């Protein structure tokens, strides 16, 4: 059986990514075969599509870090044909064929059954970005932080993680401060639940080891100088959930926020997230995420448009979430 896929190949001239026909015999090892119906575009997908960052660790590689679909065949007792499933992370698009294809064969241990109340399209509107935002909220909650202690800051607010984080935190009663470099998105961010919009330039320039205390919690998807400034302006006993590197992998910070204010830096990993926490995050997303807000932040594109979408997401020109329909 042949199927369409977005595949990256390594050539003498460098990485080449194109929409190609593939055969079932080319699928990778796994005990569950899926007819993929939806995927999404994350920042990591943009990096893989561009070839500008060494995201892909083996070639050829089918791209797409997320997928949702229907089980076609299974050698496991916990998945049967017809089951609707989600897969995010676990090295998709890095070391294992990803979701930009009509078919996928994967390890069933990586799969999550579609939670009650979610459609496959909604699950991919959430995708890795929304899943990461929920993991950040759960980490903040495990740190015993509550809205009564002060506002929550969200950087990269108009992006996928940021948009979902604003909605989730606002619906849990937090006063949300949204940091963005796009003033034109202010109305959109307030629709999601942001109470205050600040210019990202106030956080992206080198700052002091300690600044005025502004927020009790923060979700940062930018990294680098922005994360350093977020830490420096976090209130005593507060915490920052770090989940991205759009601004760089470095952290030009000092120990001052940690030893003088007891601030905690919480690392958020969505790729190898333990199964129990993964299931809890999806359960909560199905229950807690406002569907109207999710629709507001979502746009749908066909598979052939992921190339353009990947380029735009790296330039910071996309808003919210992009769902990819697989033919």
Please report the domains of the chain, with CATH numbers, ordered by start residue.
Answer: 2-114+297-325 (3.90.180.10), 128-267 (3.40.50.720)
* DSSP assignment of 22-56: EEGGGSPP-SEEEEEEEEE--HHHHHHHHTSS---
pLDDT-derived band at 66, boundaries 50, 70, 90: very high
Confidence of residue 276 (pLDDT cuts 50, 70, 90): very high
pLDDT of 51 higher than 90:
no
User: Quick one: pLDDT band at residue 14, thresholds 50, 70, 90?
Assistant: confident
Position with higher pLDDT, 13 vs 304: 304
pLDDT tens, position by position, 72-84: 999 999 999 999 9
pTM: 0.95
- What's the whole-number average pLDDT of the chain? 96
**Residue 325: what pLDDT?**
98
How does DSSP classify residue 110? G
pLDDT the model gives residue 287: 96
- With beta carbons less than 8 A apart as the criterion, state whether 317 and 198 touch: no
Measure the CA–CA gap between 109 and 119, rounded to whole angstroms.
21
User: Residue 65's pLDDT band (boundaries 50, 70, 90)?
Assistant: very high
User: Which H or E element spans position 28?
Assistant: none
**CA 287/CA 17 separation, integer angstroms:** 38
Mean per-residue pLDDT, 5-34: 95
Range 232-243 average pLDDT = 98
Alpha carbon distance 84, 69 (integer Å)? 6
Position 308 scores a pLDDT of: 97
Give the residue-averaged pLDDT of 204-227.
97
Rounded average pLDDT over 48-65: 92
The encoded tokens of residue 281 equal: 């995050």
Q: CB of 38 within 8 A of CB of 325?
A: yes
In the predicted model, is pLDDT for residue 52 greater than 90? no
The pLDDT assigned to 185 comes to 96
* Residue 53 pLDDT greater than 80, yes or no: no
Whether residue 1 is predicted with pLDDT greater than 90 in this model: the reply is: no
């Amino acid at each position: 059986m042949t199927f369409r896929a977005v595949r990256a190949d390594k050539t003498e001239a460098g990485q080449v990514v194109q929409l190609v026909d593939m055969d079932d015999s080319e699928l990778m090892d796994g005990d569950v075969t899926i007819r993929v119906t939806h995927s999404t575009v994350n920042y990591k997908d943009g990096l893989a599509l561009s070839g500008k960052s060494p995201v892909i660790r083996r070639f050829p590689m089918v791209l797409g870090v997320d997928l949702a679909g229907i089980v076609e065949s299974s050698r496991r007792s916990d998945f049967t044909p017809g089951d609707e499933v989600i897969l995010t992370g676990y090295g998709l698009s890095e070391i294992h064929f990803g979701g930009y294809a009509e078919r996928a064969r994967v390890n069933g241990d990586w799969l999550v059954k579609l939670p009650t109340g979610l459609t496959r399209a909604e699950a991919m509107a959430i995708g890795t970005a929304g899943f990461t935002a929920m993991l950040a909220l759960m980490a903040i909650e495990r740190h015993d932080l509550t809205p009564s202690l002060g506002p929550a800051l969200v950087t990269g607010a108009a992006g996928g993680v940021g948009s979902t984080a604003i909605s989730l935190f606002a619906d849990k009663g937090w006063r949300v401060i949204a940091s963005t470099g796009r003033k034109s998105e202010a109305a959109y961010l307030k629709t999601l639940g942001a109470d205050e919009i600040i210019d990202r330039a106030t956080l992206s320039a080198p700052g002091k080891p300690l600044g005025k205390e502004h927020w009790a919690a923060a979700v940062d998807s930018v990294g680098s100088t922005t994360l350093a400034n977020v830490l420096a302006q976090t209130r005593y006993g507060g915490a920052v959930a770090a989940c991205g590197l759009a601004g760089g992998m470095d952290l030009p910070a000092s120990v001052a926020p940690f030893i003088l204010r007891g601030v905690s830096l919480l690392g958020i990993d969505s790729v190898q997230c333990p199964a129990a926490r993964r299931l809890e995050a999806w359960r909560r997303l199905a229950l807690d995420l406002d569907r109207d807000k999710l629709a507001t932040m979502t746009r749908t594109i066909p598979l052939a448009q992921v190339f353009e979408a990947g380029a735009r997401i790296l330039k910071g020109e996309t808003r919210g979430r992009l769902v990819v329909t697989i033919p």
